Amino acid sequence: MTLTGAETRTAMIEIVPDLLFDPEKITEAYQQVVDRVPVADPANPDHRLRRLGLTHRAGADDPWHDAGNGQFNQATGEKNFEEAEFRFFNEELTDTYFHEIYRSLPFQIGRMRLVALHPSEIYHMHTDASRVAHMAIKTNEDCRLLLRRGETYHVPTDGRIHILNTLLHHSAYNAGGDTRIHLTMTIVE
């Protein structure tokens, strides 16, 4: 069941009103980040872009990947950190459009990340402790956010912030032929 319009927004998505960013500048900022991220594993250079953090915690050993970890330990269910700990924006990126987006947000965020979802990839069904805002940088119509009860939603590259109700059981999949890139921002609630 695919919902459109107000039905979908009510169930799973809230679009932040009166806040619109330039999609071309977002794409340019993404390329700036890609060009700057150090290659830590020469055997697997693309892994560095998997869950790339724009924010990090105080004293992070690797500010680029500190935000890449999940909030919960999958084996024990214990919290690994609090979202509010990610209050530092990567100093290497303060001249990018992402920093302007970060400063313009009307809500407090924790982890701000660039997340790639490759073709034929799907996340397991899960819930999060906070809602997550999404901005699509690169996508295709076959990339969808999915609620357990069947509703799906495609985040377009429209420069808007789409807040997903990740307190509900959800997943994401890429049934298209190109990698999906989203800027995700976990809201501190």
Q: Map 15-43 to HEC letters.
A: ECCCCCCCHHHHHHHHHHHHHHCCCCCCC
Closest residue by Cα to residue 168 from 121, 128, 115, 140:
128
Domain ranges of the chain: 5-37+49-187
Q: In 10 A of CB 162, how many CB atoms?
A: 22
Inter-residue contact 181 to 115 (CB < 8 Å): yes
pLDDT score at 127: 85
Helix locations, 41-178, DSSP H: 97-104
The confidence score (pLDDT) of residue 180 equals 95
**Domain 5-37+49-187, CATH 3.30.43.10 — does that match?**
no
Backbone angles phi, psi at 149, to 5 degrees: -80, 5
Q: Is 181 helix (H, G, I), strand (E, B) or coil?
A: strand
pLDDT at residue 189, as a whole number: 86
Ordered per-residue pLDDT tens for the chain, 189 residues: 444 445 444 568 899 999 999 999 999 999 999 999 887 666 665 666 677 899 999 999 989 989 987 777 777 878 888 999 999 999 999 999 999 999 999 999 999 999 999 999 999 898 888 999 999 999 999 999 999 989 999 999 999 999 999 889 999 999 999 999 999 999 998
Output phi, psi for 111, to 5 deg: -75, 125
Tokens of 67: 């935000």
